[in-house]
Amino acid sequence: MVALVSFGCGLIFGVGLLISGMTQPAKVLGFLDVLGQWDPTLAFVMAGAVIASSLGYALARRAKRPAFTAKLLWPTRTDIDRSLIVGSVLFGIGWGLVGLCPGPALENLATLSLPVIVFVLAMIAGMIVQDLWQSRVPSAEAVEGGALGISDG
């Protein structure tokens, strides 16, 4: 049941990305190109998503537990550390190069586009390398981070 619910959520999320145009790297790059012909689409998508989820989250917070599992796993970290800053800078560079972030990248696998498949494999490699690096060189920060609680997403 949990997997079925999760599939449904993924489906709705994917339909949202698709109809808003966010699966198209050209639309995303159009938003990021502030010096060119600026395309405000992404700002409207973000606004719709943030308004809907902040209202919904306010209601969800009142529930003691989710409908199908034991616990509401709200992220608990509050610190703005070096990992967050460096990670976000690197993520932004990659996002700006191609115009794909993880959601649209995975969703675009459905188009069977070879460059998208290569992008997703490289993205998975980047995730694995980061996780290995974090676990092999356990800086004080990383150890602390793990102990600090549930990460953001």
Could you tell me the sign of the dihedral formed by the alpha carbons of 78, 79, 84, 85, in that order? positive
Nearer residue to other proteins within complex by CB, 40 or 138: 40
CB of 30 to other proteins, least distance (A): 6
List the structure tokens of 47.
């606004």
Nearer residue to other proteins within complex by CB, 111 or 144: 111
CB of 69 to other proteins, least distance (A): 5
Q: Map the footprint of other proteins across residues 79-108, applying CB under 8 A.
A: 79-80, 83-98, 100-108
Mark 122-151 with x for binding to other proteins (rule: CB under 8 A) and - for no binding. Answer: xxxxxxxxxx--x----------------x
3-state secondary structure of 38: coil
- CA distance from start to end of the chain: 22
Residue partners of 23: CB distance under 8 A and separation at least 6: 17, 104, 107, 108
Residue 27: other Cβ atoms inside 10 A: 18
Given candidates 15, 138, 139, 149, which one binds other proteins under the rule CB under 8 A? Answer: 15
CB of 21 to other proteins, least distance (A): 6
The reply to whether 32 sits near other proteins by the rule CB under 8 A is yes
Rounded Cα distance, 24 and 21, in Å: 6
CB of 138 to other proteins, least distance (A): 14
Question: Are 107 and 100 contacting, i.e. CB atoms less than 8 angstroms apart?
Answer: no
Nearer residue to other proteins within complex by CB, 46 or 143: 46
